Amino acid sequence: MLIPNWLKQRVYLTPHKTALTYNDESWTFKQVEEKSMTLARKLRANGLQSGDRIALLGPSNDEMVFIIHACMLLGLEIVMLNSRLTKKEIAWQVADSAASVVLVADELESSLSDLTTSTLSFPSIQSSDESTFEVEETWDSNRTITIMYTSGTTGFPKGVRQTANNHTSSALSSVLNLGLEENDVWLCSMPLFHISGFSILVRSVLYGMEVKLYDKFDAEKIYNDIQQGLVTRISVVSVTLDKILREFEKHGTVAHSSFKTMLAGGGPVPIDYLERAQTCGIPVLQTYGMTETSSQTATLSSQDAIRKIGSAGKPLFFNQIKINDTENSMENGEVYVRGPHVTPGYIGHVASQNPFIDGWLPTGDIGYFDDEGYLYIVDRRSDLIISGGENIYPAEIENVLSAHPLISEAGVCGKGDEHWGSVPIAFVVVTENVSEEALKVFCRERLAAYKAPKEFYFVEALPRNASNKLLRRELKEWVDSQ
């Protein structure tokens, strides 16, 4: 199957529609193409050509968008580097990916001091000569567009291939669920190197939709955009959702009537947050996906947002999900997925590893289907706490703690125990002083005794990755270092 070159096809269809807004400046799809083509010719003049694999390290700004499109127009495979990693982590990923060169923003060059691979800074690209080349009008569906390294919950991270077909299928499945309107504007405050941010750029060119780009999350500005009707959709995770809700609660206002969707991913969202969002007039749709599935695999539909609160919905149109080794609804098991959005495999040190079992991708997540076929994600299998033979899911406890009026963030993990094998303990960020005993009482009233945290640690902040997803493995390291 051949897929049209996304940006070329979009410019052919709607050249004068707004594509991108950043810091009050806007560009049409035609203007994005012109800027990106200039950069693509400059990259070609630097010796790069179709099929080459490069790594990219930059902030989430307008220049980064143009460089991403330039790389795609030139036919490069882009290894998306996380700007929040250490020098050693970045050096390891660059070496593992065998990228020929690293394209890097000026302000991030110091992150590459451990590299042996050559680098090409954004300013030096801008000042380069141009060399003409023939732009491909169509792409092979199996062509690798991006490579993103998983956060690596165990061992070294894996470089995940994401093809033209993966990204296209993901975007099409999403629009069949969410719908599309002429005035849609998707606010992107997720990093562009992450699948949640990059997938918004893909949707933009496939749908002909404007993206309002933020270089970093800003709850107050986002509140204003939503409240004034300047954007219609946004992607969030639990912690950013909470911060936006606090702005609405502070002002005592509700979202503009044109606001349609807050897509919440990165793990289960506390029920308390979903109920607060209803009060603020914000439709929150929980979604489930991963790097290996090029964003969403299942998403709740807006009609079901209230009725199925806490669910990640049903598999999107082209996707399939099963709960492995279960026969009945409401049974917990590992979530397996398959479909055209699923990666064909990995690169680097795990290039030979087959990600599939009988055609299905095991996700490492625990979930269940209810009797109507709605998916509920319980937790990561690797985060499961087994205490005295009982399974305890940290997300369930975090859910309860997040409903406490004085707790702004909560993270739970297991700690070794001579008697029970492991017991749950909690790390909390509080807005006012509250005693450990008061929190224990609060939990005992809402949780079975074996699930209630045995210890509480009061911290300034919880460890999170670039997309604000809680890193429970780091909580475990904190426990081990006590």
Residue 188 pLDDT > 90: yes
422: Cβ–Cβ under 8 A, 6 or more apart, which residues?
385, 386, 387, 414, 415, 416
End-to-end CA distance of the chain: 55
- 10 vs 156, more confident: 10
Give 293-308 pLDDT, tens digit per residue: 999 999 998 788 888 9
pLDDT (average), residues 60-84: 97
454 to 40, 270, 433: CA distances (angstroms): 57, 21, 19
Residue 136 pLDDT > 80: yes
Residue 163 pLDDT > 80: yes
Provide the pLDDT confidence category of residue 1 given band limits of 50, 70 and 90. Answer: confident
CA atoms within 13 A on the CB side of 320: 8
Tell me the three state secondary structure of residue 76. Answer: coil
pLDDT (average), residues 433-446: 94
Does the pTM exceed 0.85?
yes
Domains and their CATH numbers in the chain: 2-140 (3.40.50.980), 166-382 (3.40.50.12780), 384-481 (3.30.300.30)
CA-based angle 358:361:366, to the nearest 5?
Answer: 120
Give 361-400 pLDDT, tens digit per residue: 999 999 999 999 999 998 888 888 888 878 788 988 998 9
Provide the pLDDT confidence category of residue 153 given band limits of 50, 70 and 90. Answer: very low
- The percentage of the chain sitting over the pLDDT mark of 90, rounded to a whole number, equals 80
- Is residue 167 within 8 A of residue 32, CB to CB? The reply is no
Residue 80 pLDDT > 80: yes
455: Cα separation from own chain's centroid: 31
DSSP-derived letter for residue 383 is G
pLDDT (average), residues 175-203: 96
Neighbours of 389 (CB within 10 A): 8
Structural element, H or E, at residue 378? strand 375-380
Average pLDDT for the chain:
94
Of 308-322, 334-348, 355-369, 458-472, least confident by mean pLDDT is 458-472
Residue 67 pLDDT > 60: yes
Residue 241 pLDDT > 70: yes
Burial call 418-428: b when 16+ CB within 10 Å, e when fewer: eebebbbbbbb
Residue 155 pLDDT > 70: no
Q: Of the candidates 340, 359, 5, which has an alpha carbon nearest to the alpha carbon of residue 166?
A: 340
Residue 347 pLDDT > 50: yes
Q: What is the pLDDT of residue 151?
A: 64
Q: At what angle do helices 29-45 and 62-74 cross, to 10 degrees?
A: 60
Residue 154 pLDDT > 60: no
Provide the pLDDT confidence category of residue 159 given band limits of 50, 70 and 90. Answer: very high
Q: What is the pLDDT of residue 26?
A: 98
Which pair of structure tokens corresponds to residue 320?
Answer: 């399939």
Residue 467 pLDDT > 80: no
Provide the pLDDT confidence category of residue 209 given band limits of 50, 70 and 90. Answer: very high
DSSP H stretches of helix in 55-163? 62-74, 87-97, 122-126
Residue 152 pLDDT > 60: no
Q: Which residues pair with 322 in a beta bridge?
A: 336
Residue 121 pLDDT > 80: yes
Provide the pLDDT confidence category of residue 195 given band limits of 50, 70 and 90. Answer: very high
